[in-house]
Structure 1
Amino acid sequence: MKRPVKASVKDEKLIEIRRNQIIRGAVTLFKEKGFHRTTTREIAKAAGFSIGTLYEYIRTKEDVLYLVCDNIYDGVKEKLSEMDVNGGTISQLKQAIAYYFHLMDELQEEVLVMYQEAKSLSKDAIPYVLQKEMEMVDMFQVLLRNCVRSGEIELDEQQIYVTANDIFVQGQMWAFRRWAFQRRYTIEEYIELQTELVCHGIECKRGKVKHGNLSTKA
């Protein structure tokens, strides 16, 4: 269930506008300083208004972190909804992986903030945020199940669950391990390598890898 963030202002449209300003300012500060070293006064200044105005739209600094994480997850999920998960071919699986990884590249700063700071969310907020993440993992489970139904791959439900999570984390890894990966790979090279590993794992389960070469239906 979505965690309510109380505001003293009653105008819902104004609340949305001001909170978007707060989120933009906070993301910049959290990237630079981290959540704990950022003050609410700094957040207010980055958002473009006074500390008094800030507290008309939130109650605590933890409220700001929740709004930031919620906004990032909503943005990622909205863009992921543009993926074609209803297909049932290896080619469509590869296209979905590439689309998701490019999205992680585009939002790498925001993804980094999530992974560094989500642990500071309140106990009542963490389950909600984690559920939103699993809803995105579910998109890849749907695609993998459709590939199973079409006969393109052979995975049971446990393998589908693990593979979907693997894909999800590999995409996010581009953001939180970028200091290492970007020294060696472009995003396209990273996508190619990770996609090959995913498909290789699937093909190994089918027993169709010969002499280290992939054999997939494209």
Structure 2
Amino acid sequence: MAIKNSAFEEIPTHVKDQGLVERRRTQIADAAVEMFLERGFHKTTTRQIARAAGISNGLLYEYVSSKEDILYLVCTLIHTEMQNAVSDALTRADAGIHPLAAAIRDYLRVCHRMGDHILLIYQETQSLPAKWRKVVLENEIRITELFADVLRQLVKTGELSAMDRDTLDLIAHNISVLGHMWAFRRWFLAGRYTIDDYIRMQTEFILARCREAGSEQPTGLPGKTPDEIPN
């Protein structure tokens, strides 16, 4: 999968052909994913990545300046695929499927397919320079914002009950974390549920929560006054 322009433009290169830069960096990132998953970031060398990508170590350094640059490209590739899955689901009209359900379904399927990659982001992000780490975290929020946008749109069209901003944002974060949860806990969850079971149950939970949100008391706990809420 090609890495977005915004990622490869941020990393300096002397190569003028931007199409070639995109192809080479995607080739390098694809090879690095497998190496990082197998060996870990710190035990993987650029020479090993270059060999796996089918290029020389010298050629690799024409497109990146460090192993940290490669890790940043890997994180960007993973986030791009997740964002594209959600965006595609939102622009596609799936007959008989709630738009939010379609977005959740496609997002969770990507998270299922890229579970090891998601773990890689969480394990190795701290190895990035601060400027790249900030971008990776912003990409996480950008995925959450896709869900917040569809929730706002569905509230606007009346397909979901009105809800306050804090509730809407929290539901969007919950959806985003459901994909991470499958990646982190699949050692247990996959023994009890198929990914389709997980998608169905979590979608039902989220849609039920959305329907309830509009009728809740300001405390967020229906039927309870602030004095009745346990500490």
TM-score by length of 2: 0.79
1:163-185, Cα deviation, whole Å (9 max, x unpaired): 00000110222122221211111
* Contact 2:147-2:172 within 8 A present in 1 as well: yes
Is 1:7 the equivalent of 2:13? yes
- Report how far residue 31 of structure 1 moved: 1.1
1:71-101, Cα deviation, whole Å (9 max, x unpaired): 22122222321122799x9932222212221
How high is the sequence identity, in percent, across the aligned residues?
39
2:179 aligns with 171
2:31 aligns with 25
- Report how far residue 132 of structure 1 moved: 2.1
Structure 1 pair 180/28, CA: closer, same or farther in 2 (3 Å)?
same
For the residue of structure 1 that corresponds to 2:131, the secondary structure is coil
* Contact 2:154-2:160 within 8 A present in 1 as well: yes
Of 69, 90, 93, the residue aligned with 1:84 is: 90
Task: Determine the C-alpha separation between the residues in 2 that align with 1:163 and 1:148.
Answer: 13
* Contact 2:28-2:49 within 8 A present in 1 as well: yes
Task: Determine the C-alpha separation between the residues in 1 that align with 2:82 and 2:206.
Answer: 22
Task: Determine the C-alpha separation between the residues in 1 that align with 2:91 and 2:152.
Answer: 10
2:229 aligns with none
* Contact 2:112-2:183 within 8 A present in 1 as well: yes
1:133 aligns with 140
- Report how far residue 141 of structure 1 moved: 0.9
* Contact 2:160-2:210 within 8 A present in 1 as well: no
Name structure 2 gaps, 5 residues minimum: 1-5, 217-231
Amino acid in the other structure paired with 1:113:
L
Is 1:161 the equivalent of 2:169? yes
Is 1:100 the equivalent of 2:107? yes
1:113-158, Cα deviation, whole Å (9 max, x unpaired): 2222222211011222222222221111122122323063232100
* Contact 1:85-1:140 within 8 A present in 2 as well: no
Structure 1 pair 18/92, CA: closer, same or farther in 2 (3 Å)?
closer
Of 70, 76, 85, the residue aligned with 1:64 is: 70
Return the structure number with greater relative CO, CA threshold 8 A, min gap 6: 1
Of 118, 140, 151, the residue aligned with 2:125 is: 118
Amino acid in the other structure paired with 2:144:
V
Aligned residues: 206
Task: Determine the C-alpha separation between the residues in 2 that align with 1:107 and 1:24.
Answer: 13
Is 1:189 the equivalent of 2:197? yes
Amino acid in the other structure paired with 1:82:
D
Task: Determine the C-alpha separation between the residues in 1 that align with 2:49 and 2:16.
Answer: 22
TM-score by length of 1: 0.84
Task: Determine the C-alpha separation between the residues in 2 that align with 1:189 and 1:154.
Answer: 29
Is 1:109 the equivalent of 2:121? no
Task: Determine the C-alpha separation between the residues in 1 that align with 2:138 and 2:72.
Answer: 14
Of 39, 49, 55, the residue aligned with 2:55 is: 49
For the residue of structure 2 that corresponds to 1:82, the secondary structure is helix
